């Protein structure tokens, strides 16, 4: 079914990880659709720059410094979004990272805890913060960022990260199914490598980045906008029967 024209105009999305990469690209796509965009990130300057770019497209934005590993900070993010815009229709939880690369036997408690605090607890807190409000309105779409890594298992460099993203896929599915009769849809996206600062943040070696590239039949990394347009589709009224699953976006591969 076609998306209603102007479907997003005046509706509100919270985007975590909005200072950079996929989160920022998605913020600008929702701004194009005249949505209000709450730009949340631990990087306050980056969040403000994204918010300014959203304003530059004629949409309203709110920049918030938020550490998604803090339950209180995430709750406060939702309170501020509601006091600014009255309602929150969508959550795109993009904040996440591989923290650092490590072989399986080198994964220590600190790395495992940091990886789960960011990717798993962050997703839990964000969903728990917006859901009561969405349930009250009997409407809401949540899109979480998983990764192809959860299918590959992250051999040799990121079993910790792959496991965390596997938890994101499971939690999203559970929430979608628990609230399916109450107007809530929840989906996750599992991208292959996308051209953002993500690999730098993880300290990926040039050899590892080349290995990822060699494994993609299309011979290139994805663009962040190629994920952002999918988030827009998932949040729209074009796919009301779509919930629970993860969608792979990977140029045809990345399975090794
Ligand atoms: N780029 C890829 O190849 C790729 C592939 C699969 C999945 N992903 C996932 O996509 C999401 C977005 O990554 P990206 O590629 O845009 O990378 P990115 O590094 O450009 O963006 C990640 C953003 O998350 C923010 N962030 C980190 N820790 C935070 C915290 N504690 N609280 C709030 N914000 C925090 C960062 O400041 C940054 O702005 C992540 O969840 C990542 O795991 C990325």
Distance from Cα 96 to the centre of ligand 1, integer Å: 4
Q: Report if residue 170 sits inside a domain.
A: yes
Q: What is the number of the ligand 1 atom nearest to the C-alpha of 165?
A: 43
- The three-point CA angle 142-87-35 to 5° equals 70
Element (H, E) at 214: helix 206-214
- Catalytic annotation on 125? no
Mutate to test the pocket of ligand 1, among 27, 97, 195 (most ligand atoms within 8 A of CB): 97
How far from the centroid of its chain's Cα atoms is residue 142's Cα?
A: 9
Distance from Cα 219 to the centre of ligand 1, integer Å: 23
Q: Report if residue 113 sits inside a domain.
A: yes
Strand partners, 189: 145, 247
> What pLDDT was estimated at residue 253?
81
- Residue ranges around ligand 1 (CB below 6 Å): 16-17, 19-23, 41-43, 46, 66-69, 94-97, 118, 145, 147, 191, 193-194, 196-198, 201
Q: Can you tell me the distance from the alpha carbon of 104 to that of 78, in angstroms, rounded to the nearest whole number?
A: 37
pLDDT tens for 19-47 read 999 999 999 999 999 999 999 999 999 99
Using alpha carbons only, how large is the chain's radius of gyration in Å? 17
> What pLDDT was estimated at residue 256?
62
Cα first-last separation, the chain: 36
DSSP state string for 76-107: HHHHHHHHHHS---EEEE------S---GGG-
Total tally of structural domains belonging to the chain: 1
* Contact yes or no for 187/243 (Cβ under 8 A): yes
Nearest alpha carbon, ligand 1 atom 12:
94
Tokens coding 75? 């709750």
> What pLDDT was estimated at residue 136?
98
Burial class (CB in 10 A: 0-12, 13-18, 19+), 133: middle
Distance from Cα 180 to the centre of ligand 1, integer Å: 28
Cα distances (angstroms) measured from residue 103 to each of 68, 114, 154, 159: 26, 16, 9, 8
Distance from Cα 88 to the centre of ligand 1, integer Å: 22
Burial class (CB in 10 A: 0-12, 13-18, 19+), 89: buried
CATH classification at residue 22: 3.40.50.720
Q: Report if residue 2 sits inside a domain.
A: no
Q: Report if residue 255 sits inside a domain.
A: no
Question: Percent of the chain having pLDDT more than 90?
Answer: 96
Nearest alpha carbon, ligand 1 atom 14:
21
Q: Report if residue 217 sits inside a domain.
A: yes
Nearest to 45 by CA among 69, 79, 20: 20
Q: Report if residue 206 sits inside a domain.
A: yes
Tokens coding 67? 């550490």
pLDDT tens for 117-149 read 999 999 999 999 999 999 999 999 999 999 999
Mutate to test the pocket of ligand 1, among 15, 17, 129, 148 (most ligand atoms within 8 A of CB): 17
Tokens coding 232? 């827009």
Q: Can you tell me the distance from the alpha carbon of 210 to that of 14, in angstroms, rounded to the nearest whole number?
A: 34
Distance from Cα 20 to the centre of ligand 1, integer Å: 7
User: CB under 8 Å to 97, separation ≥6 — which residues?
Assistant: 118, 119, 198, 201, 202
Q: Report if residue 51 sits inside a domain.
A: yes
Residues spanned by the domain of 145: 12-249
The list of the chain residues with pLDDT below 50 reads none
Nearest alpha carbon, ligand 1 atom 1:
194
Mutate to test the pocket of ligand 1, among 15, 16, 18, 22 (most ligand atoms within 8 A of CB): 22
* Contact yes or no for 133/88 (Cβ under 8 A): yes
Q: Report if residue 254 sits inside a domain.
A: no
Please provide residue 108's backbone torsions phi and psi, each rounded to the nearest 5 degrees: -100, 175
What order of strands is seen across the sheet that includes strand 61-65?
A: 61-65, 36-41, 12-16, 90-93, 140-145, 184-191, 246-249
């Amino acid at each position: 079914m076609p998306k209603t024209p102007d479907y997003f105009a005046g509706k509100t999305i919270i985007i975590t990880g909005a200072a950079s990469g996929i989160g920022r690209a998605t913020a600008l796509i929702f701004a194009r659709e005249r949505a209000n965009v709450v730009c949340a990130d631990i990087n306050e300057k980056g969040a403000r720059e994204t918010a300014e770019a959203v304003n530059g497209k004629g949409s309203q934005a709110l920049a918030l410094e938020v550490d998604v590993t803090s339950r209180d900070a995430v709750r406060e993010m939702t309170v501020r979004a509601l006091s600014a815009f009255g309602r929150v229709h969508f959550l795109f939880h993009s904040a996440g990272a591989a923290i650092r690369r490590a072989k399986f036997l080198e994964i220590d408690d600190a790395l495992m805890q940091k990886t789960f605090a960011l990717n798993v607890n962050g997703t839990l807190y964000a969903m728990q913060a917006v859901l009561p409000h969405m349930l009250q309105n009997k409407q809401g779409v949540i899109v979480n960022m998983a990764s192809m890594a959860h299918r590959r298992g992250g051999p040799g460099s990121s079993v910790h990260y792959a496991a965390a993203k596997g938890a994101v896929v499971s939690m999203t599915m559970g929430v979608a199914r628990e609230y399916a009769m109450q107007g809530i849809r929840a989906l996750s996206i599992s991208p292959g490598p996308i051209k953002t600062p993500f690999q730098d943040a993880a300290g990926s070696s040039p050899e590892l980045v080349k290995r990822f590239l060699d494994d993609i039949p299309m011979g290139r990394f994805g663009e962040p906008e190629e994920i952002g347009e999918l988030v827009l589709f998932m949040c729209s009224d074009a796919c009301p029967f779509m919930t629970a699953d993860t969608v792979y976006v990977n140029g045809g591969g990345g399975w090794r």
